[in-house]
Amino acid sequence: MKTTKNKFLFKVLYPVHFLSWIGFFAVLYIGIEWVHLFYFLTGWILIEGLGTAVTLHRYISHRSFEPRKTIKPFLLWLSCLSLQGSPIGWAAVHRGSHHRHADTDKDAHSPIKGKWYAWHSWLYDWSDYFNPKYAVDLLRDSQISWFTKHYEKIIIVTYVVVGLISWEILLFGFMIPACVGLYQESNINVFCHSGKSGYRNFDTNDNSRNVPFLAFITWGQGWHNNHHQQASSYDFGTAVSKNKQEFDPSLLFLPFIATKESLAKIRTSRKFNDV
| pTM for the structure as a whole | 0.94
Find how far residue 17's CA is from the centre of its chain: 17
Nearest by Cα to 102 from 206, 220, 228 = 206
- Determine the average pLDDT of the residues in 76-99: 97
Instruction: Let me know if 92 is exposed, middle or buried by CB neighbors in 10 A (0-12, 13-18, 19+).
Output: buried
Q: Where are the domains of the chain?
A: 8-274
> Residues 36, 154: contact at Cβ < 8 Å?
no
Which residues, 6+ apart, have CB-to-CB distance to 116 below 8 Å?
A: none
- Each residue's pLDDT tens digit, 99-146: 999 999 999 999 999 999 999 999 999 999 999 999 999 999 999 999
**How far apart, in Å, are the Cα atoms of 138 and each of 60, 95, 123, 164, 262?**
8, 12, 22, 34, 19
Predicted local confidence at residue 274, as pLDDT: 35
Determine contact, residues 67/259, Cβ cutoff 8 Å.
Answer: yes
As a whole number, mean pLDDT of residues 251-263 equals 94
Which of these ranges, 93-97, 117-121, 271-275, has the smallest mean pLDDT?
A: 271-275
Q: What single DSSP character describes residue 223?
A: B
**What's the rounded mean pLDDT across residues 2-18?**
86
